[in-house]
Chain A
């Protein structure tokens, strides 16, 4: 960084020892962000705040909101938007792009295998009961072939960066990952509010997501259908992600349907139009497996369409994502993903996992028990977030309670070291301060995989917090992948 960029505003910025997405580490300063950082300094705090206010107002008027339900009322809230972009270098992006593609490829091979030959289970690479006993495993999918072997057409990979600057995978989202609408809308917002900041920087575009998605979805249409009718199936206007459903339907130019719009007759899916029933060939569904079809799954579901799954089995309609992908983004299966990559692709994982000890394995259990005060211990059961013991912050009593639980049912636990999430300069009350961020890139797969440059950067707006979820004070940033 040149001296002239160190205006008062930027000079006061202190990443407090964390890896900074804008500045890197003191011993390894990032140079690729220099021009952007300097321009932010030139804008000044007053101007940044004024434009941030305009941007928030625009989001509100635009109705880019998610819905928060209280007992009495449904409140549309905007996802707080931070105007200082998170910037990714071309080198880091290559790693992320390759790593995500590799992961998606392995996950699809894994899903094909567990719903067909189950070689990976026979070979003991992944414990059989972990897969077959998993609630998200769908025996109904056994023997069913999906086009190109693609089960996960839309995938979101949650990435974080630790103090050492390495990017690691925190979680896979292979069912119905959301957030991509914010990626595109945040970019549009920045283009309107900060044309001067973006000029001549060379940022990879994100606005073709809808086109790419439609291409992939058209590719998986039943054989012989030349001009497939794609629809987006939403639970409806009361769903908290309804804005995103609108966004996707608009960007693809396809109807946004609800379950009541669909009719299945003779194992074919139709939608009700003003001219009667018209055929549907591909359904991008933003409804969980359970609610997709009351005849096949949860009989109480009002959201899906009766008979949809049988039509899917008969191959007259394609579903994205496929049914039964939850078994691949399960917390316990996550720990095996590096081995799954090795098994199918004979490659090392390009993006490593957070180092995870699997307590069902004796070595993992022993290590975990020996280092309880340093580790985060997580139950793998479906109720994520509950029962987590954060060793460095736990009392000795809590540590001992955790030890008892581990010994009683080791298979229900994994352990990971504490990771310090990287920070990104963020406009906050005191000026520009460091706030922790993560990143969720989105991969779209039909015949092949395409990764949207960047992804959703979520930021924990509360000082010191590492919780980036929108329900708990999280916001988002535009994410710039430099050319």
Chain B
């Protein structure tokens, strides 16, 4: 059997990332809605825009960051490449490229999921229905993961799928933590107040981490404990460190199993991040600034993606690479 086409590796990696991204976007909208429901947390939809660096593109077409406008922007707006509809469309487009490789069930599900999202109306995405909508989107993405786990042939494509999944999940968990950072900005004095604790609580729930957190920390809930859990706890599948450890193991296995000569630079980049994650102390991070720390992690994740592309996505001929990237990421 021949080795995996470089273009397929790239498309698999991005298919995984885009579905994971859609799921996390739903989680972030969901938790933000929970926050803003509280009278003291109102008008916080702008923070989501800051989180994704989308203020400029949002305000190009919108006057005000109302709940309705921001939700529409992140769910239905095809002009926004980061909306859930755009991201699922991109996942489906990659799946279409991958039809010769992936299981029929994976394709049928993504195709149907996309068609259902496309059929959503403005009414369907109104604020009072947001929790249910986010539940539907999460479930769609999780169904995709489950079908993939159960049907995707375990060749190199599977490894690239896992790499994409873990990298995106790590990145999105940092963004979830950052929501809280942005919300806290106006009220630093309230750190540790009952209100603050309830927000951390909601944050944990949005990452499906509340129960796991409670098992590790049966009583109390400090910002440091929550942030530390989401960043560093190895056994939690959405923690940054957990994802990077999984990524590292997948990468090693991929290189070893297929005797690949490339990938040394990616491995080095991952090792540096892993080392940092295992040494850094949450109290230091909080005192120096959680947001700045998260920014740093995100930059390293981007570097890992770039090295991965260099090593495996067939970029040696400069001409072909830019168009390939455009077609898989668009």
Contacts and interface: CB of A to CB of B under 8 A. Distances in A.
A255 B100 contact: yes
Given A62-B108, A263-B317, A274-B312, A246 B100 contact: yes
B7 interface: yes
Contacts of A61: 108, 111-112, 115
B68 interface: no
A272 interface: yes
Contact of A237 (B96, B107, B258, B323): B96
B2 interface: yes
A42 interface: no
B6 A274 contact: yes
A210 B262 CA distance: 34
B261 interface: yes
A273 B4 contact: yes
Nearest to B316: A272
Interface in A16-46: none
Interface string A226-256: 0001000000110000100010011000011
Contacts of B104: 62
Contacts of B258: 274-275
Which secondary structure characterizes the binding site on chain B? helix
Contacts of B320: 260
Contacts, number: 77
Contact of A257 (B5, B108, B324): B5
B96 A273 contact: no
B246 interface: no
A274 B3 contact: yes
A261 B317 CA distance: 10
B18 to A, nearest CB: 15
Nearest to A232: B100
A63 B262 CA distance: 36
A246 B99 contact: yes
Nearest to B1: A253
Contact of B2 (A237, A249, A250, A255): A255
B260 interface: yes
Contact of A272 (B7, B156, B259, B260): B7
A260 B324 contact: yes
Interface string B289-329: 00000000000000000000000101011001001100100
Contact of A273 (B5, B99, B115, B324): B5
Contacts of A237: 93, 96-97, 327
Contact of A256 (B100, B107, B261): B100
Interface in B1-36: 2-9
B5 A275 contact: no
A276 B258 CA distance: 11
Contact of A250 (B4, B100, B108, B324): B100
A451 to B, nearest CB: 26
Contact of B260 (A236, A255, A261, A275): A275
Nearest to A273: B3
A261 B314 contact: yes
Given A249-B100, A260-B320, A272 B5 contact: yes
Contacts of B9: 274
Contacts of B7: 257-258, 260-261, 272
A271 interface: yes
Given A61-B108, A261-B6, A274 B323 contact: no
Contacts of A257: 5, 7
A395 B261 CA distance: 73
A361 interface: no
Contacts of B317: 263
Given A274-B312, A275-B259, A276-B261, A229 B324 contact: no
A26 to B, nearest CB: 45
B108 A275 contact: no
Interface in A265-285: 271-276, 278
A63 B97 contact: no
Interface string A266-307: 000001111110100000000000000000000000000000
Which 4 pairs across A and B sit closest by C-beta, in order of nearness?
Answer: A272-B314, A273-B3, A246-B99, A249-B100
Given A237-B96, A274-B260, A276-B261, 10 more contacts: A63-B108, A249-B100, A256-B99, A258-B7, A260-B7, A261-B5, A272-B316, A273-B2, A274-B9, A275-B3
Interface of A: 60-63, 229, 236-237, 242, 246, 249-250, 255-258, 260-261, 263, 271-276, 278
30 contacts: A62-B108, A62-B111, A63-B99, A229-B2, A237-B93, A237-B96, A242-B96, A246-B100, A249-B100, A250-B99, A250-B100, A255-B2, A255-B5, A255-B100, A256-B99, A257-B7, A263-B317, A272-B7, A272-B316, A273-B4, A273-B5, A274-B3, A274-B4, A274-B6, A274-B258, A275-B258, A275-B260, A275-B261, A276-B261, A278-B3
Interface of B: 2-9, 93, 96-97, 99-100, 104, 107-108, 111-112, 115, 156, 160, 258-262, 312, 314, 316-317, 320, 323-324, 327
